[in-house]
Structure 1
Amino acid sequence: TLEDCPSWMPNVGYNRHTKLYVMVYWSSRYGFQNSLVPLAISASPLGPFVNVQPLKMQGGMVISDTTSLFVDDDNTAYVRYNTRDAPLKHVVEKLSPDWMTSTGQFSIIFEKQDYPWYDGGGMFKRKGIYYTMLSFDCCFCQWGSDARTFASTDILGNWTFVGQLNYCADGRAPPDHVTDMSINPCSINDPFGTNFTVPAQQFNVATLPISCEETLYMYYGERFRSSTDGLKGHDFQAWIPIEFMDDDSLLPMTFYANFTVNIQ
């Protein structure tokens, strides 16, 4: 069972060595307060998940508002998180073989000195290259957020900015900075003006093998304030295919009305 306090962003991976399903999630018990990340385990993907000793991250003193789990091809697991202590950092940190503790090995993906901070997002691996996203913190906004994408050939090495995946709907790039998280970067003076192309705040990337030779990478994000009854738990999500050009560079996302996935 999850804790009896606000929690979000559950990420579950299967450790094929321990044969346990491991959940990393964000909890207000630790977030904004210390460097702990809650951890829960189950023998089944359906649960129940039971909390165990939380992970103590080494890449920052105070975890901010996003945490996620990434599992590499060799079963090595990493936690991707952002920090609140200065400078504001986005970090990926390696876990022990049983995924129950940190190894203390980490890499800083991006850091900045000032607010508003950037939220973390999905991480995936394609053709030996690791990718991760980060975005403006829009604090449950309806206009969505961007998807600044970084890449590295070594997950614990140096990360390089490679492009913006989510432009404003009018084709403009969002500014590098806004003065407050309540400001719409695509329409500075009108929160109900132009939205991002995909009006969602990114949460993660789903890696979906659809054939023996092809893997589909799906951005997914929360479309805050999209529910008809106003309940946050009823908000819609956006699921968008991440597309690449022939030279393997990333294409900006398109907010498709619908698309078909062919699974072989």
Structure 2
Amino acid sequence: MNAAPADQIRLLDLQALDSRLDQLAHRRRTLPEHAEIEQRSTDLAQLRSLTVAAETQLSDTQRELTKAEQDVDQVRQRAARNQKLLDSGSVGSAKDLTNLQHEVGSLAKRQSDLEDVVLEIMERVESGQTRVSEMTARRDEAERSVKEAEERRDTSYGSIDAEVEKITRDREILAEAIPADLMKLYIRLRTQNAGIGAARLFQRRCEGCRVELSITDLGAVRAAAADEVVRCENCGRILVRTSESGL
């Protein structure tokens, strides 16, 4: 293949732009915020689950408290009715009076026991409320943390994308000036060689693979016409000759 020396030189400029685009793409993929967001999102998901669990437990305890308070109220009402009956003096027989007095005493003991249960449940409700408040605060802080990391990531995205946009425009203009057959070869070699399709021959060394050309290979390059597209015998990349090639 033949191409004007100026077009071959343009390949080096194109390669520099493509390498920079590759670097930016790598940087975009490997921003430290990615790992940070992943870890913080995992923590947030766990905190959300713990918060829901704490809220559910509190709700269950509050229902338990309502039921216990209702039980106390029922016993208290029954005891009040019995006491009112005793106070009215309307109980006729001694046996009924004794039974009623016994029931009043039993209800008092029952009420005391139930009130102790209510107090114990109230303590658990208070503890549950504290737990929910703590978990909610931790969850909200985790959400803010994730949002802050995402904002930093998006800021980095904006900076990277702006540079990519500019370089892409410059590349399109440069690529239009390079012959199609030379571009096709460059793109194929770039795909095959880790993103490097063309390299400068500098001081008898291929800057693509960093290998110094042998005497035989140097002789072949010296003998090649200026417009001949030469390739590195070691890596196969296009070798672009300049005044610093050492030929």
Fold shared per TM-score above 0.5: no
**Larger % of helix: which?**
2
Highest Rg: 1 or 2? 2
Which structure has more strand as a fraction of its residues? 1
TM-score (norm 2): 0.18
